[in-house]
Amino acid sequence: MAMSILKLRNSPALRSAASSARIGVSSRAFSKLSEGTDITSAAPGVSLQKARSWDEGVSSKFSTTPLSDIFKGKKVVIFGLPGAYTGVCSQQHVPSYKSHMDKFKAKGIDSIICVSVNDPYTINGWAEKIGAKDAIEFYGDFDGKFHKSLGLDKDLSAALLGPRSERWSAYVEDGKVKAVNVEEAPSDFKVTGAEVILGQI
């Protein structure tokens, strides 16, 4: 069974889908996320943690943000990445969205969200360091439940990162997924940048 899954994930058909202008990969093969999926229903009871300092966390009594607050009634572009302070994430993925904010606004996007399997304090420090916090909303998925619910979790122990996520992006309207892209490998940056998702809105 494991070999069958491995062959499916590395099949030519999957690689072909990864370069599609409409869908980054076959979401059926890669995740539970596909066009038409209600992202809040796909991850029931899951909340994310808005990036903040430790003191802000204490003052907010370590509050979390329900997915419905993030997606319902809004046009949202969300992208997930393996981790704060990592190479491709810092040097390419986040900058691609930061540099296209005006284009997203022109298309009526309400918010651009970055989510990572990190605690909200680490992702807050990282967002501030790369100068992106004012343009992009950052959220932590500290226990990985959000990504696990969507089938986007990834074991990156080989890179000493432990349980993390795939590199992915999606356009979501009122909670419904309109487009989704997932890289073949978390180190890739071919289908999840801002330019691709802009063409899908």
Report, in this order, helix, strand and coil percent for the chain, each rounded to 5.
Answer: 35, 20, 40
SS (H, E, C) 114-176: EEECCCHHHHHHHHHHCCCCCCCEEEECCCCHHHHHCCCEEECHHHCCCEEECCEEEEEECCE
Task: Of 48-62, 88-102, 153-167, 178-192, give the lowest mean pLDDT range.
Answer: 153-167
Classified by CATH at the fold level, domain 37-199 comes out as Glutaredoxin (3.40.30)
Task: Of 14-18, 67-71, 77-81, 182-186, give the lowest mean pLDDT range.
Answer: 14-18
pTM recorded for the entire structure: 0.80
Give the tens place of pLDDT for each residue, 2-26: 343 333 444 433 333 333 333 344 3
Quote the pLDDT of residue 90: 83
Every domain of the chain and the residues it spans: 37-199
Q: Does 180 score more than 60 pLDDT?
A: yes
Give the tens place of pLDDT for each residue, 62-74: 989 999 999 999 9
Q: Are 192 and 169 in contact (CB under 8 A)?
A: yes
Strands 111-116 and 137-140: parallel
Q: Which are the catalytic amino acids? A: 89
Q: How many C-beta atoms lie closer than 10 Å to residue 34's C-beta? A: 16
Place of tokens 């009634």: 73
Give the tens place of pLDDT for each residue, 37-53: 899 888 888 999 999 99
Quote the pLDDT of residue 50: 94
